[in-house]
Each structure stands twice: as C-alpha cells, then as structure tokens.
Structure 1
Amino acid sequence: MILVNYLLMCLIFGTTFLAIKIGIDAGAPPFFSAGIRFLTAGSVLLLWMVGKRKASFSLLLRKEMLLTGTGLTFGVFTTLYWAEQYLSSGIAAILSATAPLMILLLQTVIARQRLALSSLTGCLIGSAGLVLLLLPGINVSFSKLWVLGCAAVLLGQVFYSAGTVYSRRVVQRFQDVSPIALNAAQMMYGGALLLILSLFTEKIHIGTMLAPNAILSLLFLIIAGSMTGHTIFYWLIAKTNPVFPSTWLIYRL
C-alpha cells in the first residue's frame, strides 16, 4: 500500500509544476490562486472528516496546524508560485529536488542521528539523474529576476524541509487524529496566509481568473495536487519518515 500510494503521489506531483506554470501564464495572480487552491482543498477535506466524525473543528485552534501550514504550504508555495513567473517549470523542478537532501541534513542535526551514507548517496544520485533527464529540454534566460526566482525556490525548500520534519512530530503528537484531517487543517492555514499576502500585494481581475487555462489549472491543483497528492504525502510521513515521501521530488514519474 505504501509503494502504491508513493507511486501515485509521484505521478500527481510530477504534473503540478507544469499546472502551476499554466495557471500563472494564463494571468492568474500567484498568491491569490495558491491561496484559493489550499484554502478550498483544506476546507473540503476538513468538512468531510468532520462529517464522518473523524475530526473536529477544534483542530484549527492548535498552534501546530499554523506552524505546519506556514512551513509546508505558505513558505513553500509563496516562493514557488512567485518564482514560476520568471522560471520554467523544469528549472523549478530541478531546484526543488534539493529538498530531500535538506530534510536529511536537517533531520540529522535536530535528531542528532548519524547521517546514513546510503541515504545521502541515494539523494545525490537521484538529484543528478533528474538534472540529466530534464536539462536537455530546458532553456535558461539569465536575468536579475531569473536569479531571484531560483533563490526563491531554494528558500521555499528550506521551509518545506523544516515543515516536513516538524510535521512528523505533529503526526506523532496527534496519533488519534487522521493524517487527512491534519493535512486539511495545515492547508487551510497556509491558504489563508497566502490570501492575506495577496490582499496586500496583488490586484485581482475576475476575468483573468475565469480564463479557461486558469480555471483548469486551479481545479486540477485543488483536486489532484492538494486534496489527493498532499493527503497521500502526509499519510506517508505518518507511516514512514520525513525523507521517504519527499523523494518524489527526485523520483517523480
């Protein structure tokens, strides 16, 4: 079951970089569209879990949900959505592949565990393979905004790594709560923070948001990317460890 879910997550997440790029190229405001994506997905999932009596709205009152949402959703996707205005989805994917290595190192520092040579080697080989696979089809156009975009994606992976390691502790602390509900709550917080940021930084044009590519991109990212992919990711963290599910960034299909 773990392997099947992992492969499904890789398949889904492997398409999200392109879906984000399509939406942004259609004119969708980055922070607003990201906020709508996660707040909608999280709200639907939490309502579903509450309806099944497997979660309570009181979960939203826990500071752990805010902290996880800041790391796994707000910090990651603020930078990624902004950067994909100036980067190709391929470059963003390559830069994002640094996350498993960051998680491995962070987990080693925090837990004071010995760094496993096999894990480190696997991350490095996988990252190199991804670069070799994607690099031939990537066009690079150097500019100040391009460099800032690359830096933003890398900063986002720092948030992602910290959020992933922390979420493992959250899952262990809330063992009586479904990972689906935990994921829903953190996405709601992350989405709300993105919408607040959008309120102060973007001008929203309804006509642009209703463009076919923008709508299709948003729907795909809500249903497949967030409600399905991120739920599987959180479930895998609960069942395995922070590093394993994050290797989708290297081994995605």
Structure 2
Amino acid sequence: MQLLDRRSAVIRTVRLAALGVAASMTFAGLAHAEDLLAKVKAKGELTVGTELQFAPFDFIEDGKQAGMNKEIFAEIGKELGVKITFLDLPWPSVLPGLEAGKFDMVAGPATITNARMERYRFSSPIANATVAILKKKGDTSITKPADIAGKKVGSGKATAQLAQLQEFGKTLSPEPTIQEYVDFSQSYADLGAGRIVAVANSLPNIAFLAKQKPDVFEVVEPPFGKPVYFGFIGAKSEDAKSLMDAVDAVIIKMKHDGRLAALQKKWFGTEMSTPDTVEKASF
C-alpha cells in the first residue's frame, strides 16, 4: 500500500510539474505576443523595409525620400510615439528581409492577394491596386489592354502586377513577351526608349507617372486587372500581432477623419474608397 501511495505521489508531482511548465509556457507565449510592439516602443523606432522605386508611394526626389508612404508612416509614428526609419532595398529582397527579421514591417505597399494573406499579415488597405497598362504617348497601336497581344511588355519581378499580366497574357493570341524588371523605374526607362511597348502596373502608380510626364506616357483605359487593394505588410505571427493591430488602428482612424483621403487626392489626384479589412481577396 505504501508503495502504491508513493507511486501515486510521484505521479501527482510529475503531473503538477508538467502543468507548471505548460502554464509558464502559456504566460511566456502571451508575453512574447506583445514583444514586437513593446520592442518598437522601447526602442522608440519603427524600422520599415521598402523600395524607393515605386512612385507615388515611395521614390527619390531631389536626393530625398518622397511619396505617400512617408506621409502615412509619419502619422503612424506620431500615433505610436516613435520615429520611422526606412530601409531601401530591391523589391525581391524586401519580403525575405521581413521574414528574416531585418525590419519590423514593410511599406511597399503590396497588392493584397489570398496567397500572400496565408503568409503575411496585411494592414488595412490604403489604396486601390487594380492593374492597368502604361504606353508611350501617341502609340496608336495600343488603344485597349488586349492590344498588347504579340508585343513585348514589362512589369516588376516578383510582384502581383506581374502575376496578373501573365494571367491576362495567356488569354491573348499571340501571347505577349513579358520582360521582368527588378524595379519599375527600369521598365519605364525601357518603355521611354522603345525597348518595350507597355508596362503593367497598378493604376495609382502609372496614373501618377503619366501626370508627371504627360508628353512621354499615357494610361490605357480601362484597367485589365481584377479589383484589388494595396496594404502594408507585417509578419503573420503572434509577436507581430500587437504591432499590426496598432498600425491598423491608426490607418482606420485616418480613413474616418479624412487624413487618408487627403493624401490619396494629393498623390493620385482622386480619393479611393477602401474597406477597413480584407477577409478574402479577388485572387
């Protein structure tokens, strides 16, 4: 009987110890879930990866960063009480950099797609991202998107715009030849030089460029892509949730008080209605 009592006591001790370990792991997990936002606030700095070749969101003007992202993140920094530090990288290395923990989140912005939502946490949308065609001013061979059939066109490497161009191209006969570019600035340079006949990018981007250089470029109407939105990107993990929740709160507040609409009008020439959240993308 004593042996059984001792054995029962040992079992109870092991079970209690296991429960204690599980409880400590649970509390550690809860604490870890607040780590990124707490870390950002403790450091007083939010580090953001981006590519400064994506006007009007991020670009270089007179040797300095300019664009809508800079102004949105300035508001985010004010609300969170931290300074914003941007890191400029080629777009194909930005998302891997986020996954490697080299920065806290990504500005971009990036098109919100179902595949990306499985891997990343997106902010509340900040703009419409429907894809359209940019051509050289006066090119009468392209009057509608389908006219790129059999022609050499370009888009950004590893972008949702490229994916939509490839999908659209398969519906045409003959299919266009698609050139992939590390950044869109290179594609615009090749378009201007006549090495390609069109560039596929989101409507806000090419509308801004056509507005800046009306004698060089023009937009082909209507857009050919599926209706989608732009959002900023964070890690899809418990430790990043608090930070992304805080960023969402600022962006939604900006939507409701008119600050975001004012920035859209400044940079796109028009206001864009966007949902507070995207549960399912159009592709």
TM exceeding 0.5: no
- The TM-score with structure 2 as length reference comes to 0.24
Relative contact order (C-alpha < 8 Å, sep 6+): which is higher?
Answer: 1
Name the structure where strand makes up a greater proportion of residues.
2
Larger radius of gyration: 2
Name the structure where helix makes up a greater proportion of residues.
1
- The TM-score with structure 1 as length reference comes to 0.26
